[in-house]
Amino acid sequence: MINNLGLYSATFNNNSTVSQQNTAEIQAITDKHADSSVKSEESAVVDNSLYLSSRAQKINAISSEFFSGAELTFDDVGALKEKLYQFGLISKGEYATLGGTTTDATTSESSANTSTTTLTNFLGDFIERLNKDDDADGDTDSDEKVTESETIVALTGALTTAKKILNNVEEQKLQTDFKTSLKGALALLKETINDKSFEKLPLDDKIGLSKVHQALEIVDRLSPQRLNNDKVNQYIKLSYR
């Protein structure tokens, strides 16, 4: 009995030792796996932060180059579109469709003087001519003229909004109704460009309106990312916490 108990005791002690060893090994493996998982997750977070901050920095660079200082010209819109594609902010398909085909088809026919015209100068001149045409037709009271007058008023409002935005993108982005105003101007400009009467406009006007629409589309694509330096820096700082 004593021998049996001694044998049992020895066996128990051996098993206990093996069990403790197994437990220690299992714990070591578990700890190693947990540590690996944490490092993997941390790596993923860092990689994601690097990607996002890189995107923010690209947008910030575009903002500094195109939306700070000198106003956009007709030629600048094409350069801005190229920069977006080079930085990987738009896909090849988006590059092809951005701004439609009207701009590309007509720009080749544009004079050298037109290509250096600023968008805001074009808009100011176009709005002035629109208002003159509306005043000249003000003496008639036909339903057709009333409808035409309402259309001109709506278009003038959209172009005025576009002029404000393109004159200072950063400042306008601080307005609470910025996104709504931008979307409204884009919608009306697109409707105008797609209307059959658009083809009756002078070539320079068709180019100008198409360039304005294209520039606003680009601003719309960039606006969710914010173009403000302080906001970008704050975002990058938070990403690395």
Compute the average pLDDT of residues 65-90: 88
- Tell me if 13 is assigned to some domain: no
The pLDDT of residue 31: 56
Choose between 74 and 236: higher pLDDT: 74
The pLDDT of residue 87: 86
- Tell me if 24 is assigned to some domain: no
**Whole-number CA gyration radius for the chain:** 32
Q: How far apart are CA 64 and CA 164, in angstroms?
A: 18
Least confident of 3-17, 84-98, 113-127, 215-229: 3-17
The pLDDT of residue 42: 47
Domain of 125? 51-239
Q: Identify the DSSP state of 116.
A: T
Q: How far apart are CA 210 and CA 114, in angstroms?
A: 13
The pLDDT of residue 214: 94
Amino acid at site 114: T
Confidence band, pLDDT 50/70/90 cuts, at residue 162:
very high
Compute the average pLDDT of residues 157-177: 92
- Tell me if 183 is assigned to some domain: yes
The pLDDT of residue 206: 93
- Tell me if 35 is assigned to some domain: no
The pLDDT of residue 67: 86
The pLDDT of residue 133: 74
pLDDT > 90 fraction of the chain, expressed in percent and rounded: 33
DSSP letters along 130-145, please? Answer: HHHHHHHTTT---HHH
pLDDT digits (tens, 9 = 90+) for 116-152: 889 999 999 999 999 887 666 655 556 666 677 888 8
Count of domains forming the chain: 1
Average pLDDT value over all residues in the chain: 74
Q: Strand pairing partners for 73?
A: 118
Q: How far apart are CA 199 and CA 89, in angstroms?
A: 32
pLDDT digits (tens, 9 = 90+) for 38-57: 444 444 444 455 445 587 88
- Tell me if 234 is assigned to some domain: yes
pLDDT digits (tens, 9 = 90+) for 184-193: 999 999 999 9
Direct distance between the N- and C-terminal alpha carbons of the chain, in angstroms, rounded to an integer = 66
Show the tokens assigned to 71: 């106003």
- Tell me if 46 is assigned to some domain: no
The pLDDT of residue 147: 72
Amino acid at site 105: A
